[in-house]
Chains A and B, each alone.
Chain A
Amino acid sequence: MKEKMKRMLAFMLLFSLVAFAAGCGSPASPPASGEKTGTGAAEEVKEDDDEVEKTAAGPAMNPKAQEMEQVLMEQLAPLPEFNTGEKIGVLIITLANPFWVAMKEGYEQAGAELGIEVTVMAAPTEGDTKSQLETLDAIVARDYAAIVASPIEPFNLVPGVVRANKKGIKVINLGPPISKEALKEAGGWLDGRITVDYEEQGAMAAEYIVEKLGPAGGKVAIIQGIPGAGQSEGRTAGAKKVFEAAENVEIVSIQPGNWDRNTAYNIASNILQAHPDIRAIFCCNDVMALAAADALEAAGKREGVIIFGVDFISEAHEAIKEGKLDGSIAYSIRVYSKAALILALKTVQGHAIPDEVFSPLALVSKENVAEFEGWE
């Protein structure tokens, strides 16, 4: 009997923990416009550098980012009404990747700026397609006016989007595409899409690499993300095209690193084993590029190899400044997330929006990294 009591007690304890976590995580009453979302983000996401603090205070944007915002806003005109308190649900890929953590902050900050209520949810890991769909289903069951969704792969969110359509919730697709064909077949649709031109990202990085290699050229390798993922396939295709067109540049290896630091590290060291004379490695994101740089460093072969990533996460920013990484392709997370919310607002308020909007891009390398101080 005593033992039963003990067990009961422990389960109750666990249960109260659920309740406690609920208290921490659920959004409080409608935002008074401003601070609320900013502080929420600071609590939930580990702040490991001073940049986060600056965003919480609402800093002046980096001039380069402001330029980009201007361009995008012109593309999005006429703007919808702000401070209307609409509820918008956001489904990102995973909070286990710094890029998506930054996106989450971007969304929350943009939500505060625009005076709307934004909730960001994610799948537990980058490969968990099934959990992501389940998360979307649960979001659809709530009372959001619109959902901004970024799928792990083109098909996994399709049934959830159809349910949102049926319920009259607007759906904006950000980043990796949700298959329009599959949606159509399932009787659903997207209300809008905002994305980055992935091929262009790969091509920009490859052009920089080719230029740096000069007429002598050399061996290059590509580390992809998860095979089949939109960003990975697009960036690879763009880079491949440029490398193949360049004289004396030879692609010796294209390997899937699954967006994973450890996998990319191993691949980079293997590539180095097979091709000690490798001259450049293009990685489909920064996390893998940083891992590749570490792997080459560990082998004492970092000198003379160009390593390029994509996304320009803050760790990559530091690494470029230190010369550990050669460069990355940037698009402003703040502009990107804000644009998605504006698109969502426009559809909710009945404005027409273009089928597809592209976020502007910038190449960051050691030559121009100084201009990107305070970039988000």
Chain B
Amino acid sequence: MTQATFVRKEMLAPQEPPVSERGAIKWARENLFSSPLNSLLTVVGIVVVFMLIKSALPWLLHGVWNASSLPECREIIEARYGEGATGACWAMVRERWHQYLYGFYPQELFWRPTLAFALMFVALAPVLYLGNRTVNTIMAGIVTVLTTLALVGVAMAFPQTIAGADAGFGALLVAVVLLAALTAVAWLAPRKLLIFTLLYPAIGFYLLWGGSIWGPIGTLAGFAILVFVYSLTKGQLGVVVATGAGVVAASVWWLAIQSHVTGALHSIVPIGTTHVDSDEFGGFLLAFVIGVTAIAASLPMGILLALGRRSDMPLIKALSVGFIEFIRGVPLITMLFTASLLLQYFLPPRTNFDLILRVIILVTFFSAAYIAEVIRGGLAALPRGQYEAADALGLDYWQAQRLIIMPQALKISIPGIVSSFIGLFKDTTLVALVGLHDPLQGVTKVVRAAIEWKGIYWEPYIFVGLIFFACCFSMSRYSMYLERKLKRDHR
């Protein structure tokens, strides 16, 4: 029996990998210098980045925040950093930020769009996070805190306006109480928050435009009539005809009766706030009004169009195809010029049909056509078996769409839908072409027309670009979150 002379009892301590196989060096070798071409590209890339930083960084670092005009900015920069130094003149943003955000909205009423913007998030919360109680409450809470800060900030920025009739402390109190109440609702009864979401269009409209309180109430009454007629006739006439009857009844109310009733009510009980004309809207307020309205309205419209295009009914199919193809075949700028110029010729003389409203309607049509095609893609991606299963379960058309088809089709279409929305939101800057004060071109042009800021070039673009980036990036992140959350397969 041979005796083993040496038996290792414990493992050797692992050695460090060679220098070239670990840490930053390994990463660089694998990712930056893996081949001659790659190395060359890396070097060129570094040089380009270096040059960019070298030219832009001093400019950014020399930024001046306190000055009253561009020449003053230049003087300060020269005095600080020597002859020939250049720098950013952020003082322009400091002086004119309110025009970029609110356009020419009356300063003493800035709290109204701010509150409308805050409430938008509260209204969106139950939709975006599917009634998740914790998330909703956190979101509403954050919005409450931020809005309070924003309102205090706005009031401090324009102290002369606090004395105004419906501004200042009262407005702040109303806003905070309202938001706190909504936060409480989000916590206690998350489902009930959806009621607020449904009411939000009327609330937002009223906050932005003001005027008599009876206007939005009258419009809401129209929807109540629609629902009432629908539920009354649904039993006898079926879903489609009942919807049609409801729409007709509501339209009669909106077009013929409402103005008389609300007018009379207003003369009896004149409750209301200062009315703000649409042409005082500008900057991001305008971008959001157009963007959000068009996004919210184009999604349902797009769904209907997509269903219409796949419908077996020839008339509906032809109308949907015609609408989609016509709108998609025309550039957005043409639509905007139609809104601003052509419609005026068709309408009777001296009709004052609000330009922003015209633009919103046509932008919505434009977006709806694209959304319809995106959703049709989602519908086409569903296996036939899903439709057949729905039929086999005995569901009618709308039940099948609501319970089986749409949830899946919409899930597939999320990236496309969000892309369309992001595109639409950025396209709102095109309204500058019809003379509206969009943040990028319109307000910048106004700012540059002031002699003290004439000649300013990059600063407005950077400022507006950053805000647009923040908005679009959040939308894109949200869509990714939603995709992950709704993922049902286990690939």
**Bound pair (A, B):** no
Q: Tell me the A residues contacting B by CB distance below 8 Å.
A: none
